[in-house]
């Protein structure tokens, strides 16, 4: 416990945690729109495409000046986005191919520039490699101002243009027919995603940045019923992942912050996919299993009914072994379910000692109701 | 011709010399269409005949390589407020986290203005539109939990709140049950009877005569257009659909000899 307090008092840890929180807010918010617009991979392309910008920013400034590096990253990310649009519009390539091409070309250029710079030697130059996977400890207090400023601008835009962004995300063609400036809104959303990536570059790096966009949003989608709820929860998940990852990595030596942040975010996704009420996989499995049990019980009920009809004896008792053989599976669970519902009752069928079952009057009524229902559906 | 000069204002929709291509393939070839106001018109044609492309071009979603389009005499930009649009149901992701009422409210976004949010009055309007399509009980329902027919009705309600004079519907009867189809048709007839113009991309030839009073037959070119009574003929159907006609009911008023397709 005292270790944690000590940790929180450390100014480096404070800076990193605050930076991670800011990143979580901006990437969670914009990631929600990116995921709903089915543009998750655009985020990946933009973040990889930021690498040559980082290197060029460094080369032009001549030092590791944060302003020029981030500006370079933003420009090359934006250039990549434009290039994707141009390729999709003017060739027959589909979006996924265009994204793949642009991602690999820009990233390759970035890696070449990176090795060139590193070949020139010098301690500060080696630092640039940290932009691949991020290095949280390198964040300065002054960097937080840039990150915070970018985030505030993005949040202000999202709040001001809330309904426009919502409609453009849900149904862009319809938005256009209402007279909304779909092209402008599209560019704004994409530019803001590029800005969010710039915010995360130092912390998470270009390779893993896309996870900070997608993971909080994908996790949030599982729990919510409105866009507002999704954006808010996505931002909260982003903060949890960012701060949680930063603190975890601070507790152990040599744990890189970026990957840990991404792992925490992924854990949130896993939990959400499994557990979220209604949409969660466990819920769906449980629901499907209950349906199956219900159907099985219904089939067994109909079998007992049919057997008693065949013998022209409403009180005819069917042996459990016979029912098992008829259904090719054990019917014990279905029978006890029907028994609990008062539709069948166990009877002794001397001299046999095996369990036997007969329909109660309620059981006969239910079986006939089911048959009528099935017949009606056949006629549809 | 300037954007603001009135051109052919007697038609709800006037299309002249329109050609649209996708890459090198023509989707619409040199077509002229005139639809008078106050009719309920069907656009029919086989798959790939350019029906949806026609609507999308009219609405400005697809850019033509040649030709011009006027609605009530004006280009589309000048009459957006008077036009309602119901896209194909499959054109959006219905897993979007929102309610039926919220989707209908979107029909008002064009007139709420930048920076403002929809208020109580807008919600009341949207609820009234849901009521018109018989969906008022589903207002708070997640759209992912609606059936296909219910989703279609939500889309129509969204166009209704636009309170337009000219409605475009892209295959509104595709994949909906008989009850929904009846609801939709009754509603569209009411709109027409109130003086609105309703233009529907339609795929079911068997119902053309019952539902519509105006017909545009399309297969990349315009094959025929006019009142259903004068246009829905065996000859025009054969020209539009070529050899694909085997399953199509022949026009009711034709003598048996002519009905041998």
The CATH number linked to A91 is: 1.10.3470.10
Query: What is the distance in angstroms between the Cα of B40 and the nearest Cα belonging to chain A?
Result: 21
Are the Cβ atoms of B115 and A92 closer than 8 angstroms?
no
Number of H helices, E strands in chain A: 17, 3
Q: Do residue B97 and residue A179 have CB atoms under 8 angstroms apart? A: no
DSSP string, A32-85: HHHHHTT-HHHHHHHHHHHHHHHHHHHHHHSS--HHHHHHHHHHHHHHHHHHHH
Please tell me whether residues A218 and A288 are part of one structural domain. Answer: no
Is the domain of A117 the same as that of A11?
Answer: yes
Q: What is the DSSP letter of A104?
A: H
Number of structural domains in chain A: 2
* Positive or negative torsion for Cα B203, B207, B213, B218: positive
The upper half-sphere exposure of residue A256, i.e. CA atoms within 13 Å in the direction of its Cβ, equals 15
Residue B117's CB: how many other CB atoms inside 10 A? 10
Distance spanning both ends of chain B, measured CA to CA: 45
d(CA A154, CA A151): 5
Distance separating alpha carbons of residues A60 and A55, to the nearest angstrom:
9
pLDDT at A309: 86
pLDDT tens string A302-320: 888 888 888 888 888 888 8
Of chain B, the percentage scoring pLDDT greater than 90 comes to 67
Both A263 and A358 in one domain: the answer is no
**Whether B114 and A162 lie within 8 Å, measured CB to CB:** no
Provide the b/e sequence for B75-92 (b: ≥16 CB within 10 Å): bbeebbebbbbbbbbeeb
User: 3-state class of A189 per DSSP?
Assistant: helix
Q: What is the pLDDT of residue B211?
A: 94
Say if residues B138 and B150 touch (Cβ distance below 8 Å).
yes
The residue ranking higher by pLDDT, A377 or B115, is B115
Specify whether A220 is located in the same domain as A288: no
What is the pLDDT of chain B when averaged over all its residues? 88
- How many residues does the structure list for chain B? 261
Lowest-confidence pick of A95-104, A217-226, A362-371, B54-63: A362-371
Return the SS3 of B176.
coil
Residues A233 and A324 in one domain: no
Residue B16 has pLDDT above 80, yes or no: yes
Give the pLDDT confidence score for residue B246 in this predicted structure. 53
Q: Report d(CA B141, CA B45) in Å as an integer.
A: 36
Q: Is A130 exposed, middle or buried (0-12, 13-18, 19+ CB in 10 A)?
A: middle
A1: pLDDT confidence band, cut at 50, 70 and 90?
low
Q: How high is the pLDDT of residue B257?
A: 46
pLDDT at A346: 86
Domain ranges (residues) in chain B: 13-243
Shortest CA distance from A230: residue in chain B:
B97
Work out the pLDDT band at B259, boundaries 50, 70, 90.
very low
pLDDT at B255: 45
Determine contact: A162 vs chain B, CB below 8 A.
yes
- CA atoms of A189 and A184, how far apart (whole Å): 9
Q: Which of A35, A39, A167, A170 to mutate to test the interface with B (most CBs of B within 10 A)?
A: A170
Last residue of a domain, one of A222, A244, A275: A275
Averaged pLDDT for residues B44-49: 89
Q: For A325-334, B51-60, B200-209, B250-259, which range has the lowest pLDDT when averaged over its residues?
A: B250-259
**Per-residue pLDDT at B261:** 41
Kindly tell me if the per-residue pLDDT of B149 is higher than 80: yes
Which residue has better confidence, B40 or B9? Answer: B40
Q: Do residue A242 and residue A321 come from a single domain? A: no
Q: Which of A33, A36, A173, A218 to mutate to test the interface with B (most CBs of B within 10 A)?
A: A173
Nearest to B85 among A162, A177, A229 (CB): A177
pLDDT above 90 (res B98): yes
Does residue A164 sit at the B interface (CB-CB below 8 Å)? Answer: yes
Residue A148 has pLDDT above 60, yes or no: yes
**Exposed e or buried b per residue across B151-166, where buried means at least 16 C-beta atoms within 10 angstroms of its C-beta:** bbbbbbbbbbbbebbb
Residue of chain A minimizing CA distance to B77: A179
Written as six digits, the tokens of A82 are: 């434009």
Chain A residue nearest residue B78, CA to CA = A179
Tell me: pLDDT of B258 over 50: no
Q: Are residues A106 and A45 in the same domain?
A: yes
The residue written with tokens 């060029």 in the block is A56
d(CA B253, CA B261): 14
**One domain for residues A196 and A79:** yes
CA dist., res. B196 & res. B187, Å (int): 12
Tell me, what's the ipTM? 0.90
- Given A226, A248, A275, the domain boundary residue is A275
Could you tell me what percent of chain B has a pLDDT over 70? 91
A334 touches A296 (CB < 8 A): yes
State whether A235 and A207 are in the same domain: yes
Paired tokens of B148: 């296909």
- Are A163 and B98 a contacting pair at CB < 8 A? no
* Contact (Cβ atoms closer than 8 angstroms) between residue A291 and residue A285: no
Tell me which residue range forms the domain holding A29.
2-275
Task: Report DSSP state, residue B249.
Answer: P
**The pLDDT of residue B9:** 87
Confidence bin at A379 (pLDDT 50/70/90): low
> Same domain for A262 and A128?
yes
Which stretches does DSSP call E strand in A181-257? Answer: none
A165 plus A251 within the same structural domain: yes
Domain of residue A323, CATH code: 1.10.10.10
For chain A, the C-alpha Rg in angstroms (whole number) is 31
Question: What pLDDT shows up at residue B260?
Answer: 42
Q: What is the pLDDT of residue A124?
A: 56
The values of phi and psi at residue B89, to 5°, are -60, -35
Residue B108 predicted with pLDDT over 80:
yes
Q: Looking at residue B61, what is its pLDDT?
A: 92
Mean pLDDT on B41-54:
91
Chain B closest-CA separation from residue A167 CA (Å): 7
pLDDT at B229 over 60: yes
Please judge whether B115 and A167 are an interchain contact, meaning their C-beta atoms are less than 8 angstroms apart: no
pLDDT at A378: 62
DSSP state letters, A294-336: HHHHHHHHHHHHHHHHHTT-TTPPEEHHHHHHHHTS--HHHHH
Peptide bond into A351 cis (omega under 30): yes
Query: Is A243 in the same domain as A324?
Result: no
Q: Domain boundary at A275, A301, A335, which?
A: A275
CATH 3.40.50.720 fits B13-243, yes or no: no
Q: Kindly state the average pLDDT of the residues A153-162.
A: 94
Pairing, β B66-70 against β B40-44:
unpaired
Q: Are the CB atoms for B57 and B28 separated by under 8 Å?
A: yes
Both tokens of B244, joined, read: 């694909």
Res B100 pLDDT > 90:
yes
């Amino acid at each position: 416990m005292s270790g944690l307090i000590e940790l929180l008092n450390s100014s480096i840890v404070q800076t990193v945690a605050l930076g991670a929180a800011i990143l979580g807010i901006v990437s969670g918010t914009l990631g929600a729109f990116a995921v709903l617009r089915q543009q998750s991979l655009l985020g990946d392309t933009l973040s990889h495409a930021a690498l040559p910008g980082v290197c060029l920013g460094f080369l032009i400034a001549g030092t590791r000046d944060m302003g020029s590096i981030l500006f370079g990253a933003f420009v090359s990310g934006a250039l990549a986005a434009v290039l994707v649009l141009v390729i999709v519009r003017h060739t027959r390539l589909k979006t996924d191919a265009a994204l793949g091409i642009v991602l690999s070309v820009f990233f390759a250029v970035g890696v070449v520039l990176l090795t060139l710079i590193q070949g020139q030697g010098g301690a500060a130059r080696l630092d640039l490699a940290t932009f691949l996977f991020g290095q949280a400890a390198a964040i300065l207090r002054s960097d937080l101002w840039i990150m915070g400023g970018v985030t505030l601008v993005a949040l202000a835009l999202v709040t001001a243009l809330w309904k426009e962004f919502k409609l453009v995300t849900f149904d862009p063609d319809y938005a256009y027919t209402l007279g909304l400036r779909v092209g402008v809104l599209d560019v704004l959303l994409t530019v803001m995603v590029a800005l969010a990536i710039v915010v995360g570059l130092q912390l998470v790096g270009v390779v893993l940045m896309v996870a900070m966009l997608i993971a909080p949003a994908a996790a949030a989608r599982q729990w919510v019923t409105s866009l507002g709820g999704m954006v808010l929860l996505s931002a909260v998940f982003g903060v949890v992942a960012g701060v949680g990852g930063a603190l975890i990595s601070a507790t152990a030596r040599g744990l890189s912050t970026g990957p840990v942040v991404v792992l925490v975010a992924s854990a949130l996704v896993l939990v959400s996919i499994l557990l979220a009420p209604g949409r969660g996989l466990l819920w769906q499995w449980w629901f499907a299993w209950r349906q199956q049990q219900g159907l099985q019980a219904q089939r067994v009920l109909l079998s007992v009914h049919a057997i008693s009809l065949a013998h022209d004896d409403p009180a005819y008792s069917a042996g459990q072994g016979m029912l098992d053989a008829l259904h090719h599976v054990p019917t014990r669970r279905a029978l006890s379910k029907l028994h609990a519902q008062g539709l069948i009752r166990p009877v002794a069928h001397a001299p046999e000692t095996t369990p036997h079952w007969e329909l109660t009057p309620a059981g006969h009524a239910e079986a006939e109701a089911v048959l009528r229902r099935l017949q009606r559906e056949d006629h549809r | 011709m300037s954007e603001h000069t009135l051109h052919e204002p007697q038609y709800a929709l006037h299309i002249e010399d329109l050609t649209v291509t996708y890459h090198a393939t023509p989707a619409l070839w040199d077509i002229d269409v005139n639809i008078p106001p106050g009719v309920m018109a069907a656009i029919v044609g086989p798959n790939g005949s350019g029906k949806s492309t026609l609507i999308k071009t009219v609405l400005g979603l697809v850019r033509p390589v040649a030709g011009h389009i006027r609605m009530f005499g004006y280009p589309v930009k000048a009459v957006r407020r008077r036009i309602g649009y119901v896209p194909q149901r499959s054109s959006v992701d219905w897993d979007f986290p929102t309610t039926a009422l919220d989707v209908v409210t979107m029909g008002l976004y064009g007139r709420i203005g930048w920076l403002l949010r929809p208020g109580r009055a807008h919600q009341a309007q949207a609820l009234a539109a849901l009521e018109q399509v018989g969906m008022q009980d589903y207002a708070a329902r997640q759209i992912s939990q609606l059936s296909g027919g219910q989703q279609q009705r939500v889309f129509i309600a969204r166009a209704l709140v636009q309170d337009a004079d000219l409605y475009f519907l892209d295959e509104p009867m595709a994949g909906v049950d008989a009850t929904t189809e009846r609801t939709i048709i009754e509603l569209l007839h009411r709109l027409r009877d109130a003086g609105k113009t309703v233009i529907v991309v339609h795929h079911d030839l068997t119902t053309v005569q019952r539902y519509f009073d105006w017909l545009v037959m399309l297969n990349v070119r315009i094959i025929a257009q006019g009142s259903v009574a004068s246009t829905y003929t065996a000859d025009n159907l054969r020209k539009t659909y070529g050899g694909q006609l085997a399953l199509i009911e022949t026009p009711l008023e034709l003598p048996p000899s002519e009905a041998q397709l």
